[in-house]
Amino acid sequence: MNIRTLASPFLLLLLLEGCLDITTTTRLHLDGSLTRSVLLEGDLSDIQLGSRLLAIDSTWAKVTDTTASGNQRVTATREFKSSEEATRALSGIPTKKIGIALNVEKRFRWFTTTYRYEETWRKLNPFDLVPMSNYLSKREIEMFLAAKSGKDSTDTPGDQLAKKAAEERANEWTRRNAFEEYFNRILDGAKAVNDPALPVDTIRAAKDRIYKRISELMDSDKMKNDDSVCQVFAAELANPNIKRVFEASAGALAQIKETMEFLLESGRPRYSVSAVVPGLITSTNAQTIEGNKVSWRDFGETFVYFADYTMWVESTVANWWAILGTGVVIVGIGLVMVIGLVRRK
């Protein structure tokens, strides 16, 4: 495993130039059913990556064409009877496919019906052994996310320095978090080997020295593969038998590599999500509103990396049948009362 991949995956996610545009649009119908379309634009390998990440398979209807620049464009569409059915199809597989959950609430209030549409993208980064609060304050986290999502307009020298410092510590948090996962798998391997000359406590006691040395190699771009990591462990522990531990941990380390590859792959596309809802929009956390369509963008590289991210919109539809029916009833009651009064006279 190339542990350099673990060096700063968050930084890579932020800087990696996306060559795939993914735009999803979900139309909510009055009966609660949904029509979801996904537009993927890129070259053939990008399209295949996007289809895999979003679990687009043969159950989707697909239309393919070519853009003026020569890129492929695939539009995949699928109908869902309910948000529950959509969630089952979009739930994904951890570290393999992006997990998405949809939820629709419909509240009838006689003259109106209120709809609430929610789309939640599940957290991408599974490594959470080290709390981010160990490196950043709540205010710094908010400032960091605002800067990365383009919502922060502050540009004073002090603000820029503060944001740069926050970014450096966020990258250090990511690096340390991944290392903790890696190191724990090595400890598991040591327990399995059970070598009296290489007790688990000895390895654990050397953790900070090992991390410092590995960080130095990563910063100098000399970290190439698992052999380099093994050599660091062997040097710091003064015990070449650590190679047996790495061999015993091979399967677990391969899983970490797979996870990191998924993080890098899922960070490549530029994501945009839209929802079209019936009626008049009354409330939303969307970035843009156009008629009865709301949209979110640039959330994949920031919010979803740290935690689940829920996009939501509420709208109200007038129940004209109820309004007209009530009017007819009121008019009818009025006529009956008038006729009654006339007869009494």
Over residues 72-93, mean pLDDT: 94
Query: Quick one: which H or E segment has residue 293?
Result: strand 293-297
Among residues 218, 314, 219, 305, the alpha carbon closest in space to that of 266 is found at: 305
CA gyration radius for the chain?
A: 28
Q: Where are the domains of the chain?
A: 16-124+268-322, 132-263
The tokens describing 303, both together, are 């919010």
Confidence bin at 222 (pLDDT 50/70/90) = low
Q: Return contacts of 216-221, CB within 8 angstroms, 24+ apart.
A: 218/3, 218/4, 218/7, 218/175, 221/4
Asked if 100 and 121 count as a contact pair (C-beta separation under 8 A), the reply is yes
Confidence bin at 11 (pLDDT 50/70/90) = very low
Among residues 81, 93, 102, the alpha carbon closest in space to that of 25 is found at: 102
Among residues 10, 17, 33, 37, the alpha carbon closest in space to that of 278 is found at: 33
pLDDT of residue 32 exceeding 60, the answer is: yes
Confidence bin at 214 (pLDDT 50/70/90) = confident
The whole-model pTM stands at 0.78
pLDDT tens per residue across span 38-61 = 999 988 888 999 999 999 999 999
User: Cα dist. 324→278, 336, 341 in Å?
Assistant: 20, 18, 26
Average pLDDT, the chain: 82
Q: How far is residue 280's CA from residue 4's CA, in Å, rounded to a whole number?
A: 50
pLDDT tens per residue across span 295-342 = 998 775 566 777 788 999 999 987 655 556 555 556 666 565 656 666
Among residues 131, 193, 163, 172, the alpha carbon closest in space to that of 6 is found at: 172
N-term to C-term CA, the chain: 99
Over residues 207-216, mean pLDDT: 90
Among residues 20, 28, 56, the alpha carbon closest in space to that of 266 is found at: 20
Over residues 115-131, mean pLDDT: 90
Q: How far is residue 84's CA from residue 102's CA, in Å, rounded to a whole number?
A: 7
pLDDT at 5: 41
Pairing between strand 112-121 and 270-276?
unpaired
Confidence bin at 2 (pLDDT 50/70/90) = very low
Percentage, residues of the chain above pLDDT 70: 78
One-character DSSP codes across 235-264? HHHT-TTHHHHHHHTHHHHHHHHHHHHHHH
Answer left, alpha or beta for residue 291, where phi above 0 means left and psi between -120 and 50 means alpha: left
pLDDT at 274: 97
pLDDT of residue 34 exceeding 80, the answer is: yes
**Higher per-residue confidence, 323 vs 229:** 229
Q: Give the 3-state DSSP-derived string for 260-283, with helices as H, strands as E and coil as C.
A: HHHHHHHCCCEEEEEEECCCEEEE
Over residues 213-240, mean pLDDT: 80
pLDDT at 310: 92
